[in-house]
Structure 1
Amino acid sequence: MSTSASLRSGAAAQQAFRDVMAAVASPVAVVTALDGSRPHGTTVSAFASLSLAPPMVLVSLDERSHLLAVIRRSGRFGLNVLGAHQTDLASAFARPGPDKFDGVPWSPSEGLPRLPDAAAWIAAEVADSVDAGDHTVLLARVTAAEAGGESLKPLTYHRRSFGSHTPLAY
């Protein structure tokens, strides 16, 4: 039996919403940007394609995020869509702190930090931003995009754990 809570207010409503969103499988990516020559990044599951003409994506970042401040200054970010083999990177970039790139290999691509062996790569320029509760949604024009190999399975987040997609036979 499932339970429900009114989403009007309160801790119980917030927990109910978290539980509902945990039931939704999401792709996992690391958003990156440069502050001078120093790379910054964070793990996100709140990103999506937005438009084909022009190509655009959206990314949601916590309003208190240091990375968001860096992106606001530079106007650009990289989106490293992780593969199923990259749970270690997802975990490393999900932790708080400024030194997430310590010991992590990366290379500049389109002037942005790119992680190796990702399932996909996107470079984007912020076109607009929208304040949304405790997050800011960045609407961005894609300036470069590259898919990884066909054999790379995407990393997903579902029910508070990492997994991947397996196509159904039908």
Structure 2
Amino acid sequence: MTATPISDTSARQAFRDAMATVASPVAVVTAMDGRRPHGTTVSAFASLSLAPPMVLVSLDNRSHLLAIIRRTGRFGLNVLTSHQFDLATAFARSGEDKFEGIPWSPSEDLPRLPGSVAWIAAEVDDCVTGGDHTVLLARAVTAERGAGSPSPLTYHQRSFGTHTPLVT
């Protein structure tokens, strides 16, 4: 069997289709530009290390938010619940006024969205360019689990959903 090079348009689509089979958690990455909050929806983030506590987040190289984070060296990670798909959609769109009409509060001087399943404030240690994205490697300075045990928001097969535990 001969593999088609990923640089081919049909192979890139095949790659996108293959990656759509992977369920990913959904979060809104936030930062402050002076007194103005900024944010964007991501599904490419993960725990990286426990000692020290670190996360990784991937942002598009053209992202205005990435430029702000590179300048400030900090970001917030709001891990969304299954009931917050409207926030995921709002922060996934283009534009600079994504916070218009969205309640938030400062936490560690970063924009925090209420009701998230988890909140992490992080300081960037390193930025690694990978293709059309940059991976931020960051130390968690604050980490909090949300109240109760809400289901996380996931993205799978190009749709929002949630995790359902298997009964064993």
Q: TM-score w.r.t. structure 1 length?
A: 0.96
Displacement of 1:151 in angstroms is 2.6
C-alpha contact (below 8 Å) 1:106/1:116 kept by paired residues: yes
Partners of 1:107 and 1:8 lie apart in 2 by 43
- 2:60 is aligned to 62
Q: Secondary structure, in 3 states, of the residue corresponding to 2:88?
A: helix
Find the partner of 1:91 among 89, 104, 120: 89
DSSP 3-state at the match of 1:91: helix
State the alpha-carbon separation in 2 of the partners of residues 91 and 136 from structure 1. Answer: 22
* SS of match in other structure, 1:125: strand
* Number of the residue aligned with 2:157: 159
Q: Of residues 104, 114, 124 in structure 2, which corresponds to 1:106?
A: 104
Output the aligned Cα RMSD.
1.1
The correspondence for 2:128, drawn from 125, 130, 151, is: 130
1:32 touches 1:42 (CA, 8 Å); kept in 2?
yes
CA distance in 1, matches of 2:147, 2:17: 33
Contact 2:117 2:149 in 1 (8 A): no
Query: How many residues in Structure 1 have an aligned counterpart in Structure 2?
Result: 167
User: Which stretches in structure 2 are left out of the alignment for 5+ residues?
Assistant: none
* CA offset digits 1:119-153 (Å, max 9, x no partner): 00000000000010000000000000001134310
Identity between Structure 1 and Structure 2 (%) = 74
- 2:145 maps to 147
CA contact (8 A) 2:6 2:15 kept: no
Aligned-partner SS, 2:149:
coil
CA contact (8 A) 1:119 1:153 kept: yes
1:99-120 CA-partner distances (Å, limit 9, x unpaired): 1000000000001000000000
